[in-house]
Chains A and B, each alone.
Chain A
Amino acid sequence: MTKIYTVADNIITSLGFSSKENFAALKQRKSGIAQTTDPNITQVPMFTSIIDSNRIISEFTKIGNPDVFTRLEKIMILSINDALKHTNIDPSDNDTLFIFSSVKGNIDLIENENHPFEKDRVNLWAISDQVCKFFNSSVKPVFISNACISGVTSIIAGAQYLQSEKYKNIIVCGGDIISEFTPSGFQSFKAVSEQPCKPFDANRTGITLGEGVGTVVLSTNKELVKEENPVIFRGGANTNDANHISGPSRTGDGLYYAISNTLKEAEKTNTNIDYISGHGTATPYNDEMESKAISRAELNHVPVNSLKGYWGHTLGAAGIIECIAGIHSIKENCLIKTFGYSEHGVSEQINVIKEFKETEVKNFLKTASGFGGSNAAAYFSELNSD
């Protein structure tokens, strides 16, 4: 199998504009979730995690004209631009493919009819066209919209194209913004927590939505690898519950199949996992389902966290920024605590990380689940970990 190296990354959330800033906040147990009463977002006070708008404009002005891009496009361009600073990849090269993931894209253009953009800008493919144009890429981009698993699905797809040697480098960028659309929908489902979300906790009552964009650059080109022992992608899978379009499976079988297919592709067993970066949205049903899938995979002993308590559920970014955090957990040998968790609240005995811990981390399993019955998992490890 061709080796798939992770060569550069970026995270933009309320916690900062780089992976470094974001991971430092995670290590310091600092959450970016705060209450908002902004009438353009919610009709009742709500906890959420928002990217600093002034900083988006001031950072973007350094590289382009902020007026000709939407909010999401600007953040995506900033994210890719920062990730590319850490590698020598030429984004306009014919060997380099862009893969995008977003759940709602430029949804703010539907809500605010007085925007200055052309009508077809609300299409998801219009976002990839704009961003690729900015980076002078003429390779036809890929756009994935797979609900809350979009980010993980995009990384798996990228790895598949590298494996078949169709491209040498893949730039995976995913994200979603917060406007009124998504919060109102989740509120109508009574799925939004009145307090900052509490993943896997006995008193969890729902999700906290967040804004975020992440970029991870994957490559098969060993010359681009700077570290002696880089983190590589080893396997991943997408599955479906085939049970309900909005409710998680009661048995966790879909997620269990995603985990077992992933470990099979990575040629690993349940004894080879140091850490699970869970989905942990903090809805009663999701976290319960996840605990069942983890237990069925016989991974009860493996430390697991959810990072949603730091930057909320960032939809199309979630899978990407949480994989990046996992990569940094390996690089910095530490486990991030599950912010918001204090009392065990799922039926299976899983090992939820309660406190930040410095310890050797050589690999991790990422899991995600979403609407449409979708589930995904991916496995990353150090090149020389076995």
Chain B
Amino acid sequence: MDNYISKYCIIKPHEVIVDGKTEFSDSEKNEFGAFMKSIYKHYEVKYPKYFKMDNLCKVAFLAAEIVLKENEHLKELDPTKIGVILQNSHSSIDTDIKYNETIKDKANYFPSPAVFVYTLPNVMIGEICIRNKFQGENTCFITKEFDSEFLTYHVNELLNSGKIDVCITGWADYYEGEFSAIMFLVEKNMENKKDNISFKPEFINRLIK
């Protein structure tokens, strides 16, 4: 039994691609912070907590927002059956370095709980769960590069075993100004939708090329 990608989103420098089409591009070629803010505005996201997030959470959160837009039917589902499974390469190291700056100099020692809380990569999953009230399986995998083979295997197992019915899954990474996100909404076989793509590595690799 196949599981299907009902929507996907790729965020890379200056560009947001949704279901294969460039939906938003940043002609001013802004750096990360301004680019994220322009995505936030373009998609009319209204979520003040966004502004507290670290950069990794921001890119993961926005990719999830875009994928979940116009998917109101998820609100009807059992929240404990909606999973969030993400991969990432640089963990929270970018924020780890920022936090370390606050404890490095003993004469100027000011460890901040607001920064420390983001020194965990799975917090990006927590942010997506809080926003959408998803309570199902959640795991953060660390891989050097996006690994479609492993991700599809793991997520399809969770869906096929019945542990979850829907999964928000993919990749989000941020390190020293470099970033990327690939987010999929994966659902079980839906016969009435003919354009859907199977959640399999060979199809995914074609989509993200």
Contacts and interface: CB of A to CB of B under 8 A. Distances in A.
A153 B86 CA distance: 14
Interface string A122-138: 11110000000000000
B171 interface: no
B90 A123 contact: yes
Interface in B101-131: 103-104, 106, 109, 111-113, 116-117, 119-123, 125-127, 129-130
B111 to A, nearest CB: 4
B130 A124 contact: no
Contacts of B158: 160
Contacts of A239: 80, 135-138
B163 interface: yes
B77 interface: no
A140 interface: yes
A: contact size bracket? 35 or more
Contacts of B80: 239, 257, 261
A144 B139 contact: yes
Contacts of B136: 239-240
Interface in A179-221: 180-181, 184-189
A253 B78 CA distance: 14
Interface in B131-148: 132-144, 147
Nearest to A180: B103
Interface residues of B, number: 51
B13 interface: no
Contact of A374 (B96, B99, B134, B138): B138
Contact of A240 (B112, B129, B144): B129
B137 A123 contact: no
Interface in A234-251: 237-246
A254 interface: yes
Given A145-B120, A371-B117, A181 B99 contact: yes
Given A157-B154, A371-B120, A242 B134 contact: yes
Contacts of A185: 99, 111, 113, 116, 119
A142 interface: yes
Contacts of A43: 106, 109
A293 B116 CA distance: 27
B110 to A, nearest CB: 9
B190 interface: no
Contacts of B125: 240, 372, 374
Contacts of A124: 91, 142
B43 interface: no
B97 interface: yes
A372 B140 CA distance: 11
Contacts of B109: 43
A101 B157 CA distance: 20
Contacts of B96: 104, 107, 110, 181
A122 B93 contact: yes
A237 B90 CA distance: 26
B84 interface: yes
A357 interface: no
B72 to A, nearest CB: 18
Interface string A146-159: 11000001000100
A21 interface: no
Given A184-B111, A245-B123, A373 B89 contact: no
A185 B102 CA distance: 10
B100 interface: yes
A245 B138 CA distance: 13
Interface in B59-110: 79-80, 84, 89-91, 93, 96-97, 99-100, 103-104, 106, 109
Contact of A373 (B126, B154, B157): B126
Given A144-B141, A372-B125, A111 B117 contact: no
Contacts of B99: 181, 185
A261 B163 contact: yes
Nearest to B57: A245
A246 B113 CA distance: 10
A140 B147 CA distance: 11
Contacts of B203: none
Name the residue among B80, B117, B119, B139 with the largest chain A CB count within 10 angstroms. B139
7 contacts: A125-B142, A146-B140, A157-B154, A189-B113, A242-B133, A245-B123, A373-B130
Interface of A: 43, 103-105, 107, 110-111, 122-125, 140, 142-147, 153, 157, 160, 164, 166, 180-181, 184-189, 237-246, 253-254, 257, 261, 265, 371-374
8 residue pairs, one from A and one from B, having the closest CB atoms: A372-B126, A185-B116, A188-B111, A143-B142, A242-B129, A240-B129, A124-B142, A372-B122
Given A144-B142, A245-B130, 4 more contacts: A145-B122, A180-B103, A184-B111, A238-B138
